[in-house]
Each structure stands twice: as structure tokens, then as C-alpha cells.
Amino acid sequence: MAGTGKRASATGRIGHVLLVEDDALIALALEDALKEAGAARVSWCATVASTMAVLESENPDTIVLDVHLSDADDGWALAELIPQLGLRNVQIVFSTGAPDDIPEDIAALGPIFEKPYDPADLVEAIRSRKGAGLISRLRDALG
């Protein structure tokens, strides 16, 4: 199953980021921005199938998910599978040209970036872990 890894600290450190993106130019731009911002590691998968294979052996701190991938139009469904794979405290961030295609209950799992967007905004969202999970959403709702 997934290996255990240290979670990114609350101080804004960027740990291991898994990019799930089938557009190589976008993936490379995001990878460059994340590495420049100090990401400990950046992995990249272009399909749901390759992502599932990686998630069996890796435990990223953050997963940036494209919605429409070359092998599936429901890349967002990967967000639902994260807990079933035994991964905990994984920040989900959606990166898509079609935000309305993400079901509302899934969209609530993390921030959504509509393409095109500035990679610096993605970096900031990852650093702040805004919308990282249920507790974060409850704090935002109450505060």
C-alpha cells in the first residue's frame, strides 16, 4: 500500500506534490513553479492509470488534479479514492478548464483553479493548505 511520508508542516513548507496533468506544457510550468518555491519533490502522472500505480507506493502531501485526462473525463474521481488507498492528510487541489464538471461534493475537497491561472497562485494555495480538508472547511465556515 502507500508508503508513509512526513506531511508538509503548517509553516507553509511544500512537501511532495503529485501533479496529475495530461498537458506536458502545463505540467512542466507547474513543476518549475513548485520547485522554485522549494517543493521537496514533484512527481508527474498524465493518466488515471499511472496515478493509481504511483499512489500504491508514494504518499504525496498534495495532489494537483486535472479533471479531464487522456484516459478519463472524470479525473476528479481520484480525489474520492485517496482515503480508500490509505492516504491521510493529503491536500487536494483541482486544476481544470472545466470547473463545473466537478461534482459539488467532490469540489468541496479542495480549491479549484480554472485554467489558465498563475502558477504562483497554486503555490500559495498549497503553502496555505487552504481548503485542505474537512477541518479547514469547518474553520472557514465558522470563522
Ramachandran quadrant class, 45 (left: phi over 0; alpha: psi -120 to 50; beta: rest): beta
Predicted confidence (pLDDT) per residue in 26-54, tens digit:
999 999 999 999 999 999 999 999 999 99
Q: Kindly report the backbone phi and psi dihedral angles of residue 54, in degrees, each rounded to the nearest multiple of 5, phi listed first.
A: -65, -40
Residue-wise pLDDT for 78-133, tens only, equals 999 998 898 989 999 999 999 999 999 999 999 999 999 999 999 999 999 854 44
Task: Show the cell assigned to 75.
Answer: 479525473
Q: Could you tell me the residue ranges of all domains in the chain?
A: 16-142
Position 8 pLDDT exceeds 70: no
Cα angle for residues 27, 31, 35 (degrees, 5° grid): 175
Does 7 score more than 70 pLDDT? no
Q: How confident is the model at residue 141 (pLDDT cuts 50, 70, 90)?
A: low
C-beta of residue 18 within 8 angstroms of C-beta of residue 48: no
**Which of 5-14, 51-60, 99-108 shows the lowest mean pLDDT across its residues?**
5-14
* Fold exhibited by the domain 16-142: Rossmann fold (3.40.50)
pTM assigned to the model: 0.82
- Which pLDDT does position 130 carry in this prediction? 57
